[in-house]
Homo-oligomer: A and B are copies of this chain.
Amino acid sequence: MPWSTREIAELAGTSLRAVRHYHDVGLLDEPERHGNGYKQYGVAHLVRVLRIKRLTDLGFSLSQITAMGDTDDHPEQALRTLDAELAATIERLRRVRVELDLILSQAVLTDLPPEIAPAADGADLTDTDRSFVVVLSRVLGPEGMRAYADMLKNLPANPDASEFYDLPADADDRTRQGVAERLVPYARMLRAENRGLSTLNSDAPHGARFVEQTLSEAMKDLYNPAQLDVVERTELLLRAAASSDDTTS
């Protein structure tokens, strides 16, 4: 007595549905049928299903197996190609694991890119800053990001910064001007450290113009009107100081 569909499936260590699927895609010939319509599989079918099972277990797709045909000889080229693909996949997964281990060991935030994360660990960033850094990381290239990370590391603690972060949206004119003035020395220092960063803009993935637009967009989203006004005022004060330097020199 020949085997039923369930039986070859079990003999081959696969599923009923898989065997039927192999019929559907033309990988496996349909066997003769009994009077009641039941399929009757023979040894040839079992051998075929076993071969398919071995090849899928190795990682071949059904279309690749179709391409190999029904011959006994092993397709050396296909095996070598698969081997190379497996090697590449393993390498990729290994790298992912290295990154995971890094994240786990440093308790580093998952949304910060790995180059910046260690630096950000030292300087304590607000949520807003963190968002800003995330945007920066995509807008600058990896080179720019390294420069930025360096800057963060060398950044001295700034007592006036919290005054800026805590500034309410409806702060009055005098308050804004005061904060801006106290920020000038700090901003000047940032500028000095910052040279490398601005020149690196040119190798950013999307071009310098795009970088500026994107960052200004990000700032509009992240800071309130009073803070944006303070940034503008600080900018003006810096320029005024620079031009008075020019005239006095």
A binding-site residues for B, Cβ under 8 Å: 1-3, 10-13, 42-44, 46-47, 50-51, 54-55, 57-59, 72-74, 76, 79-80, 82-83, 86-87, 89-90, 93-94, 96-97, 99-101, 103-104, 107-111, 127, 130-131, 134-135, 138-139, 206, 213-214, 217-218, 221-222
- Quickly give the copy total for this chain: 2
Contact assessment for A109 and B74 in the assembled complex, using a CB-CB cutoff below 8 Å: yes
Q: Would you list 23 pairs from A and B whose C-beta atoms are within 8 A, ordered by A residue?
A: A1-B217, A2-B217, A3-B217, A12-B138, A43-B135, A44-B131, A46-B134, A47-B111, A47-B131, A47-B134, A47-B135, A50-B111, A50-B138, A54-B110, A54-B111, A58-B96, A59-B96, A72-B111, A72-B130, A79-B110, A83-B101, A83-B104, A93-B93
Contact assessment for B43 and A217 in the assembled complex, using a CB-CB cutoff below 8 Å: yes
Q: Could you say which residues of chain B place their CB within 8 Å of the CB of A72?
A: 109, 111, 127, 130
Contact assessment for B11 and A139 in the assembled complex, using a CB-CB cutoff below 8 Å: yes
Residue of A43, A89, A214 with most partner-chain B CB within 10 A: A43
A73 to B: closest C-beta gap in Å: 8
A247 to B: closest C-beta gap in Å: 37
Contact assessment for A103 and B87 in the assembled complex, using a CB-CB cutoff below 8 Å: no
Contact assessment for A97 and B93 in the assembled complex, using a CB-CB cutoff below 8 Å: no
A114 to B: closest C-beta gap in Å: 10
Q: Could you say which residues of chain B place their CB within 8 Å of the CB of A218?
A: 43, 46
A138 to B: closest C-beta gap in Å: 5
Q: Could you say which residues of chain B place their CB within 8 Å of the CB of A135?
A: 11, 43, 46-47
A34 to B: closest C-beta gap in Å: 15
A210 to B: closest C-beta gap in Å: 9
Contact assessment for B97 and A86 in the assembled complex, using a CB-CB cutoff below 8 Å: yes
Identity of the chain B residue whose Cβ is nearest the Cβ of A73 in the assembled complex: B109
Q: Could you say which residues of chain B place their CB within 8 Å of the CB of A108?
A: 74
Contact assessment for A103 and B131 in the assembled complex, using a CB-CB cutoff below 8 Å: no
Contact assessment for B43 and A131 in the assembled complex, using a CB-CB cutoff below 8 Å: yes
A46 to B: closest C-beta gap in Å: 6
Identity of the chain B residue whose Cβ is nearest the Cβ of A13 in the assembled complex: B138
Identity of the chain B residue whose Cβ is nearest the Cβ of A50 in the assembled complex: B134
A26 to B: closest C-beta gap in Å: 19
Give which listed residue, B1, B103, B221, contacts A42 with CB less than 8 A.
Answer: B221
Contact assessment for A55 and B104 in the assembled complex, using a CB-CB cutoff below 8 Å: no
